Structure 1
Amino acid sequence: MQQQLLLLPLIVALAAATATTPDKCGTFSSCLGFTNATGWRVIEAPGLAAFPVPCDGQTPGAGSGWTVMQRRVDGSVRFQRSWAAYRAGFGDLQADYFIGLEALHRLTTHQPHELYIFMENFKNKQAYARYDNFVVASESEGYKLLELGMYVGTAGDDFSLNKGMKFSTMDKDNDVYWQNCALESQGGWWHKNCTSVNLNGEYFDSQLDEYKGIRWWSWNDNETLKSVKMLIRPKAK
């Protein structure tokens, strides 16, 4: 029952998503085989009730079969949320969205996953970062960013600076900075010392030099990003 209540915001968003339909009937373990540009599936993760996720099959350079774990496109969903909200997941399956830390842990520890991060700035330039072994620890370990694996991409390897960090939120400060980085940046993240990367920061609808915004330092300096999405996919055996 608790799991169903925690997933209620996503279920409501799914009911409102009348513009898209599921890829196929039934329940899956991932979005593998999904080749449409956008849509959703109902998937299962070990120990959790089945839940809907956005699928992505047409991000430039990524290929098909990706599950959207995070997406920022318009600021329609607030990312300054509690630990409980980040644990459960929240957002709109067609817009701003976060899959939930517990689902990430269950999926990435059940089988190896890769991570593809795609970003665009307000100059309409695009970049990506790809990691070949994305693993998130359990809640008892603070949903620590356990592994990322090898990096390839055009954005720079900024996310590796957060490896080994526990997740931090407005009500649970696990970073190493003297202030709560999640409060300062208006979003939960695997914060270390409030620098370099934060894709869950406050959304701004124009380019600003703003440390609270969505940012990836080595590619776009301290300027806010226009959009970003984080995609996960089981690795080929």
Structure 2
Amino acid sequence: MSTFNAVRNHLALIQNDADRLLKDINRLEEDHEENRTSIGQCDKEFAQAKAAEDKVHAELEKAWKKTDKFKNKQRKLDRRQADIQSEQAAKWGQYKIKSALVHELRILCRESFAFPKNGKRPLPNNSYDQIGPLKKTKACSAPAGLIEDDEEYGAPVEKAISGLRNEICVYGEEEAELKLEIEADSHAVKRDNNIIKAENSGVKTRQTTLLK
């Protein structure tokens, strides 16, 4: 009888251990399912974070490309401004050369009429004003009323003076147009520069916000 009781008690212990193990197995399965749910949630959150990161990178790349575009536009504006300045310098150089030529021709005209081949002499004070007063024009002043009886000197010089005077008047008009053109181009360049600076500042602010 004692042996039977011992066996029954032993079987009861085994049953208890089996029940406990079964409970542990069930709990482990529940934990495993909970872990699977947590892992799935983590994967979902990671995918969302990755998508957000990719979006930020895409916006940053777009902003960098826009910045490069602004820099290219700025370089084009700088080249345009340099070309305008070079053209301005060239035109001013031509204008000064023409002005100097007309000035020298005026001096030569005065000297030619002061010492003509027909034997006329200059005034006692060596003044060259005996050819008459200067006639004022909007672009230049040239001697008026050249000596008519000296065709050898008067006609060619009168023709040369007239041609160069007209050319200087044209250059005077071109000078005024050039000033207006340069002023307009300068305003356009400044306006474009201000637009680029404002847009570039917005891009930098956006980049700083995205990088935070």
Same fold (TM over 0.5): no
The answer to which structure has the higher strand fraction is 1
Q: Which has the higher contact order (CA 8 A, sep 6+)?
A: 2
Q: Which has the larger radius of gyration?
A: 2
Q: TM-score, length-normalised on structure 2?
A: 0.20
